[in-house]
Chains A and B, each alone.
Chain A
Amino acid sequence: MAKYLLLKHYRGAPAAVNDVPMDRWTPEEISAHIQYMNDFAARLEKTGEFVDGQALAPEGSWVRYDGEGRPPVTDGPFAETKDLIAGWMVIDVDTHERAVELAGELSAAPGAGGKPIHEWLEVRPFLTAPPTITE
């Protein structure tokens, strides 16, 4: 019973095996890809392991506090930012091995030519509440 974030990157991850940008896919390939993701999430709901899944727009801005009574400072978007998160899925699973297994399946989503993308997904454990018994 531990939560993991499966993180998908627009860029910043190592290159995928089937590394063709999505805008060069056929519409059917895009549909198949989206269908795979939806089916994957639906399957995790059925196994009782799904928590959340969201996609993010590639462009955002940076915001910071600028002192009492002043509006926050905004900046960006910065085209040169190396790491860009595309979206995530949160799962709740029994073991780290299971999290890795599921990330592997998600990474097999079909891309160009209907072949698996083999894209790199980042698997990050959630920090939890401290256990009651520690000694």
Chain B
Amino acid sequence: MAQSAQPVKKRKIKGDGAWGYAFIAVALIVYALFTAYPVISAFLISFQEYKPLGSTYIGFDNYTATFKDDLFWKSIKNTLVYTVLTVPVALLLSFLVAIMILPLRKKLQTVFKAVYYLPVVASGVALSLVWLWIFDPMPGGIFNQFIGWFGAHNQNWLGSSATAMFSLVIMAWLSSHGASIIIYLAALLGIDDSYYEAADLDGASFLQKLWHIVIPSLKPTTLFLLVTAIIGSFQVFQNAYLMTGGGPDHATTMVGLLIFDNAFKYFEFGKAAAQSLILALIIALVSLFQFKFLGKDVDY
């Protein structure tokens, strides 16, 4: 999306157009069948009142109903709050961890990478049971014991509007960086040593090297992680679904969960399709914005 938008400075190999098409052929076929076709289908459905035995076209009703729906806007707001609170923090943590792992001895590196990767490995469904216990509202819950040491009162973490969203955010902070740490590390290892050598000759400090070499070199990676993390966050639904079901009083109803509910709980598939296309548009605009402002000086 960004590439076509930016002036193409970099060189590309010429005269291999046919190879280019051949190389992307499988990807395109898979995409057309299993992504594009369902999306088009959903697009058509968004103008219908969906019934398995024959839908009826209702024009833009699903869209107008969505725009008038307070719950939809509330869910957008919740999603934004969640995204703003989780994505930057999680990304920064991943970056810091990757940087900190880098100077360690090989053995230690391996250990830490494994350790941080571990949480991603275990299934979300099984782990959500553990998280439910951590947030157990009774005094025996882990978090309640923890804050009890500081003299704080028992909190009804997931059960009260004041803390439910915060609980999900904490969960994201502590469990969502295995993949980004690995991607960051791989990118860090890809930075050419000669840059550092040159900087060392100039007597650059650690922070200067970090600022002038590492951060610019990692920009494509950061952009990738940021875009995919924000997309993921906008579509997030599993944690809310497993932990709070969107409650209490819709305090944690994310738009992804709302769409899921509309599609699979209330059978309003037309409405769900319309809402997800609106969401897709929002995500596209946000991504475009990121590419425009962050991808500007990315040197490929």
Q: Are both chains from one complex? A: no
- Interface of A toward B, CB cutoff 8 Å: none
